[in-house]
Structure 1
Amino acid sequence: MIDIRFVRDNPEAVKASQRARGADESLVDTLLRADESRRSTLQLAEETRAEQKALSRTIGKASPDERQAILAQAQELSAKVKELEQVASDANGEYERVARSIDNIVIDGVPAGGEDDYEVLKHVGEVSSFDFPVRDHLDIAEGLEAIDMTRGTKVSGSRFYYLTGIGARLELAMLTAAADLAEANGFKLTITPTLVKPEVMAGTGFLGAHSDEIYHLPADDLYLVGTSEVALAGFHSDEIIDLSDGPKRYAGWSTCYRREAGSYGKDTRGIIRVHQFNKVEMFSYCTPDGAEEEHAKLLALEEEMLAKVELPYRVIDTAAGDLGSSAARKFDCEAWLPSQERWMEVTSTSNCTTFQARRLGIRERVNGQTQTVATLNGTLATTRWLVAILENHQQEDGSLYVPEGLRPYLGGREIISPL
């Protein structure tokens, strides 16, 4: 949720953010009117309640002749207070509804526009080239008996799979390497719940325009997370945390679930778009002033992990219209996908400023006063990385070159050969 004080003082900046996202800028004026209505109705209710209390205090001192009139007036004021409190409650409800419909304010410099309007910040590594016919990741994996899509579909339906043998080992190696990197940089490793309450899912901003991507269990009113960001954001909900020694950093290892609604016909082969996957996600709580510096740190760690698995990649600054509702800025790292000759997203890191923490009631104490903290997140490794690793490190004979950064986690193996 955006800071209403900022909106009052800087309405044009908020409108500019809405325009950059391709969102409705008239919502800003609607919000300001709702804010004025809730404040004025609440003030009137409080003034009337104070008048009622003051009148009630005179009953004991009134003469018998005056008492009945005062009691009648007090009862009348009491009924009026209840009526005004309901009006104030309705006004506050409308304010909350409008406030939650406005996405986070984008940071200056974020490209305006939609999905194709990103800015490429840099390229790292040489795009893979081969002197033999390139095979896609599923062909390679099936030769190594690393992925079984047929049985995944038989058991669970489309977009499900088994990682088997060296496929399972590769994923564990990659995720463990990511966990080690996170711990070495001050992140507390955490295995998180994968089911969360509605208020936590809503607090992180995932129940907006893309709520159809989320699995919901109506019988329990719980949601399956699509990232451990959700559980880690809820970890300190309704708390005052101590950031005097620097940011609080966590790395969440979890299974994640996405419905992939709207992706019919897209990436149907292999494990690029699947309903269930594993991920190590970084999550930071920091002061608002330190958020951009922390964002750069998360991106640097993502790049360090990509270097460990020796993938060519590029970094993009995502356009405002392609940001999630919580993100004020997002950097994606995209690895080269040889079989399709395109870039494929493998990491993203978002600066959510105070948007999530304001919804979730997460604050810090500064000079005796409390202020909302900032939250940030970033992918350090996920199942999709196997696609890029398999394709970029394939050998002509169907074997797989093992990147040096993964060898310690695979018993020192340098090559994985077909069975």
Structure 2
Amino acid sequence: MIDIKVLRDDPERVRASQLARGEDPGVVDAILAADERRRSSLGEYEALRAEQKSVSKNVGAAMGAFQKAKKSDAPDVAELEAAATAARERAAELSDLVKALEAAASAAGDELNALMRRVGNVIVDGVPSGGEDDYVVLETVGAPRDFAAEGFEPRDHLELGELLGAIDMERGAKVAGARFYFLTGVGARLELALLNMAVAQAIEHGFTPMITPTLARPEVIVGAGFMDAHAEEVYHLETDDLYLTGTSEVALAGYHADEIIDLSAGPRRYAGWSACYRREAGSHGKDTRGIIRVHQFQKVEMFVYCRPEDAEAEHQRLLDWEREMLAKIEVPYRIIDTAAGDLGSPAARKFDCEAWVPTQGRFRELTSTSNCTTFQARRLNIRERDPRGAGTRTVATLNGTLATTRWLVAILENHQQADGSVLVPKALQPFVGLDVLTPVG
């Protein structure tokens, strides 16, 4: 979640971020009001709690004086009894008041937390306002092939996959239902080659490779920000109260939860390989052909913990590493600066890399990289020793995709030949063990 200090000190910045995202800026005023109620209740609670402690001591002293006077038949025994009774009554009264104020502070805190979870990360300056179609194209790399000039009509990735014995959607649906598939033969080899090439690149750049859990506890998936606006996308195992993760980002975000980590030597960089699961709720009728939008896929995801002041520079590094991977598969692509309304709650800025898909005549997303600043780490209580010596502070987290199953779509379609064969990009050839994929049968 966002830092409450940012909201207190600069509410207009948060309102502007909410407006850019297309969300309600009025929640800022609701949060400030709940915060004031909580702080006021806590102030009263602390004051009365201090008085309660003082009165409790006085009760003991008053009762002791009364018992002593009673035993000696002192003339002021009645006065001392009255004082002891008054002290007990005040102690009881304070006990009730303290409990009420504690409950009020707790309720205000719960309300504040609920309201805070409605606010997405405060966007970075320069992020375009608007929704899914309001992105800004930052760069276009390469040019689409002119298949007409080459004398043939390109086949789509599924037709190619079936010709090559690489993709079997029919049996995938038979086994698991719609939007599931088998990768067979060279299809499986191509995916493994792609993912292994991604891991090799990540290791080259200092990432620690990780095979991550694909189930996460509620507090982890909530902390990572995947139960805010997109809860309907997540598979839930009710019996175990566990969630199937849609990206290893979730597991890697939870890896250092409730820890103080050492960033004195620089960012901590992890590359997670996992199966990923998404319900694709709301996508009925979209991309029903092939493996563009499916319920299960493989992915290698970069994840970084760094100091907040280093996050924007680290974001550019992640984008550069994605560029490096895309160059290796030799496809035309573009980079877009995603608009605020299409960021998702955790991201303060997100760049997408979209590859050209010839049979669709448009660019489709292959990778994204997000700067989540301190949003996830604050929820998951991940801190570092403040280098200025001021205790601890929340770290920043970032993520970026290095390869996924969807990349096969771009590789197959962009490198196809008239006879249905597919040339393997040069960088991939050592990992696949082939330089060309040929039709079977």
Q: Smaller-chain TM-score range?
A: over 0.9
> Which residue, 106, 118, 122 being the options, matches 1:89?
106
CA deviation map 1:5-46 (0-9, x unaligned): 111111111111111111100111111111111111011111
- Aligned positions of 1:400-411 closer than 5 A: 400-411=422-433
Q: Which runs of 5+ in 2 are unaligned?
A: 67-80
The match for 1:304 is: 324
Q: Does residue 383 in structure 1 map to residue 405 in structure 2?
A: yes
75-84 or 260-269, which deviates more = 75-84
- What is the total number of aligned residue pairs between the two structures? 418
CA distances 1:137-170 after superposition (whole Å, capped 9, x unpaired): 0000100000000000001000000000000000
Question: SS at the partner of 1:253?
Answer: strand
Q: Residue 52 of structure 2 aligns with which residue?
A: 52
Distance 2:186 2:439 in 1: 10
Q: Which runs of 4+ in 1 moved over 4 A?
A: none
Counterpart residue identity of residue 360, structure 1:
L
Q: Residue deviations 1:288-338, cap 9 Å, x none?
A: 000000000000000100011111100000000111100000000000000
Q: Which amino acid is 1:227 matched to?
A: T
**Among the aligned pairs, what percent are the same residue?**
64
Say which SS state the counterpart of residue 219 (structure 1) adopts. Answer: coil
Partner of 1:137: 157
Deviates more, 1:204-213 or 1:333-342: 204-213
- Out of 162, 172, 177, which is 2:192 matched to? 172
Structure 1 residue 70 corresponds to structure 2 residue 87: yes
Find the aligned partners of 2:59 and 2:13 in 1 and give their Cα distance: 53
Please give the alpha-carbon distance, in whole angstroms, between the structure 2 residues aligned to 1:157 and 1:410: 29
**Who is 2:11 aligned against?**
11
SS in 1 for 2:243: strand
Superposition CA RMSD, Å: 0.8
Q: Give the equivalent residue in structure 2 for 1:259.
A: 279
Which one of 248, 251, 257 corresponds to residue 268 of structure 2?
A: 248
| Aligned residue in 2 for 1:21 | 21
TM-score by length of 2: 0.94
- Give unmatched runs, 5+ long, in structure 1: none
Q: TM-score, normalization: structure 1?
A: 0.99
**Structure 2 match to 1:415:** 436
Q: Tell me how far apart the structure 2 counterparts of residues 101 and 368 of structure 1 sit (CA, whole Å).
A: 30
- Residue 61 of structure 1 aligns to a residue whose secondary structure is helix
Moved more, 57-66 or 352-361: 57-66
SS in structure 1 of the partner of residue 113 of structure 2: helix
Deviation at 1:49, TM superposition (A): 1.0
Give the alignment of 1:117-128 within 5 angstroms: 117-128=134-145
Q: Which residue of 1 aligns with 2:259?
A: 239
The residue type paired with residue 200 of structure 2 is D
1:59 positional shift: 2.3
Tell me the SS of whatever aligns to 2:60.
Answer: coil
Residue 306 of structure 2 is aligned with which of 274, 283, 286?
286
Q: Which residue does the alignment assign to 1:186? A: 206
Q: SS at the partner of 1:57?
A: helix
Is 1:359 aligned to residue 359 of structure 2? no
Using the TM superposition, give the Cα deviation of residue 172 of structure 1 relative to its aligned residue in structure 2, in angstroms. 0.2
Residue of structure 2 in register with 1:80 after alignment: 97
Residues 79-119 of structure 1: CA deviation (Å, up to 9, x unaligned): 11111111111010000010111110000000011111100
Which residue identity is paired with 2:266?
G
Q: Corresponding residue for 1:340?
A: 360
Secondary structure of 1:278 counterpart: strand
Over alpha carbons, which structure has the higher Rg?
Answer: 2
Q: Distance in 2 between matches of 1:210 and 1:127?
A: 34
1:368 Cα shift?
Answer: 4.5
Find the aligned partners of 2:423 and 2:140 in 1 and give their Cα distance: 22
Give the partner amino acid of 1:237.
A
